[in-house]
Amino acid sequence: MTPVEPPWALLAELTHGCPLHCAYCSNPLELVRRSGELDTGSWCRVMCQAGELGVVQTHISGGEPLLRPDLPQIVAAADTAGIHTQLVTSGIGLDAARLGALVDAGLRSVQLSVQHADPQASDRIAGRRRSFADKARAAAVVREAGLPLGLNVVLHRDNLDVLDAIVGLGLDWGADRIELANTQFYGWALLNRKQLLPSRSQLTRARESVEAWKTRLAGRTELVWVVPDYFDGTAKPCMGGWGAVSLTVAPDGTALPCPAAAAMPGLDPPNVRERSLEWIWRESPAFNAYRGTGWMADPCRSCERRDIDFGGCRCQAYALTGDAARPDPACHLAPDHPLLRGIVSESALGAPSPAVPRSFRTAAGRGDRV
C-alpha cells in the first residue's frame, strides 16, 4: 500500500454563523448551530495537531469567522504550530483594530468575497444592505495593513455578464489575486441550482473575457478561473484527490475529506473531539474511502486520466446519482453524463421560483440531494 502523504492544507470552518445569505453557499443545508461549535481550546488543539501532521496552510473560514471573538487566539495557535494562516471573510466586521489584532496574532493573508461589481446588485445577492460598502472598507483596511489580498467572486447567472467590471473592481481594490469561481453545486448552491446555472453563451463570453484579462494582467495580478464542470464535459480533480492534500474541520468538530462531504450518508466522518487529526487523516475509514484509485469502477479504473482527475468529485457523484463511488457525471465518459446534459439544457428554460437564501431558518427539513 502506498504510504499516506501528509495533508498540505486545513480548512477550518469556525462557524456556520454568517451575516450574509448567499444562495450559492456551499455550506451544508444542515448548518451547525452556534451552540454546537468547538470551543477555543479545541480549535487550538486542532491547530497544534495540524502542525504536527504537516499542514502548511490553513484557510480560516465559515460562515463568517469574524463572528468568533476568539479568532486571534485560534490564529495565534496556528501560527505557533508553524501554519500559514489565511482569513476567508465576507469583510463584515473587519476594521483596522480587528485586523491589527489578527496580524499581531500571526495572520498572513486575507481572502475577501464580493458578489457583484455594482453595490446594489452585490447587496441583493448577499442578502444584506450596505454589505458592499463594508467590503470596500475591509479591502482598504487589508491593503493599509500591507497584507496580501485575494478577492473571491462566485459566478452564476446574475453576475457572469459583468465579469469585466468585476475584474476592474478587484484591480481598484488592490487585489493581488482575483478568483473567479464558477458556482460549484453543493449545499445551498445545489438547492438553488435552477436559479444559479448560467447559459452556455454567458459562459463562452465570460471565458473569452478572462483570457483577455489574463494576457493584460500577466505578471501583475493573478487571475484564477474555477471551471464550470457542469458545462465542460470533463471532471475536475476535486480537492486534488480524496484525502490527498487537504482536510476540513466543520464547526462542530466533524472532520471531512472535503467540506461538501457532510451531505454523504454512510460516510460516518470522525470528529476531532474524539480522535486525533493524525488518526483521522491516516486511519479513519472516511478518509480512506475514496483515497487513491483502488475504489474506482470502469470507465475510471482503466482510464488514462484517473491519476489526473481522480475520477472527479465524489460529492457530485453522490448528489447526482446517489452513489459516491460512481464516475462523476461531469465527465463525458461517465455513464451518467446524459443526466448532467439534461440539467444544463433545462437551465435554459429559466428558474421557476426565487432562490432560497442561506440561513438557519430556511435550513430545516431540506435534504442535500437534488
Q: Is 238 in the site for ligand FES (CB under 6 A)?
A: yes
Query: CB under 5 to 8 A by kind: which of ligand SF4, ligand FES, none does 337 bind?
Result: none
Q: Is 110 in the site for ligand FES (CB under 6 A)?
A: no
Query: CB under 5 to 8 A by kind: which of ligand FES, ligand SF4, none does 303 bind?
Result: ligand SF4
Alpha-carbon distance values, 158 to 23, 166, 208, 226, 355 (Å): 11, 12, 18, 17, 12
Q: Is 255 in the site for ligand FES (CB under 6 A)?
A: no
Q: Which stretch binds ligand FES (CB under 6 A): 62-70, 149-157, 160-168, 253-261?
A: 253-261
Residue among 335, 289, 339 at smallest CA distance from 314: 289
Among 315, 320, 331, 355, which residue interacts with ligand FES (rule: CB under 6 A)? Answer: 315
Per DSSP, the three-state class of 337 is helix
List the grid coordinates of 236.
Answer: 475536475
Query: Which residue's CB is nearer to ligand SF4, number 40 or number 293?
Result: 293
> Please, what sign has the CA dihedral across residues 266, 191, 245, 310?
positive
Report the distance separating Cα 293 and Cα 310, nearest Å: 7
Query: Which residue's CB is nearer to ligand FES, number 196 or number 261?
Result: 261
Q: Which stretch binds ligand FES (CB under 6 A): 41-49, 265-273, 312-320, 339-347?
A: 312-320
Q: Which stretch binds ligand FES (CB under 6 A): 8-16, 66-74, 128-136, 256-264?
A: 256-264
315 is in an annotated binding site: no
CB of 248 to ligand SF4, least distance (A): 22
CB of 98 to ligand SF4, least distance (A): 43
Q: Note the residues at the interface with ligand SF4 (CB under 6 A).
A: 235, 299-300, 303, 305-306, 309, 311-312, 327-328, 331, 333-334
Query: CB under 5 to 8 A by kind: which of ligand FES, ligand SF4, none does 238 bind?
Result: ligand FES
Q: Which stretch binds ligand FES (CB under 6 A): 102-110, 197-205, 296-304, 307-315?
A: 307-315
Q: Is 262 in the site for ligand FES (CB under 6 A)?
A: no
Q: Binding-site residue total for ligand FES (CB under 6 A)?
A: 11
Report the distance separating Cα 173 and Cα 196, nearest Å: 26
44 is in an annotated binding site: no
CB of 273 to ligand SF4, least distance (A): 35
Q: Is 258 in the site for ligand FES (CB under 6 A)?
A: yes
Q: What does DSSP say about strands 246-249 and 255-256: parallel, antiparallel, or unpaired?
A: antiparallel
Q: Is 160 in the site for ligand FES (CB under 6 A)?
A: no
In 3-state terms the chain splits into helix, strand, coil percentages (rounded to 5) of 40, 15, 45
Among 81, 210, 239, 286, which residue interacts with ligand FES (rule: CB under 6 A)? Answer: 239
Query: CB under 5 to 8 A by kind: which of ligand FES, ligand SF4, none does 329 bind?
Result: none
The annotated binding site for [4Fe-4S] cluster is made up of 18, 22, 25
Binding site for ligand FES (CB under 6 A): 186, 238-239, 242, 258, 260-261, 313-316
The annotated binding site is made up of 18, 22, 25
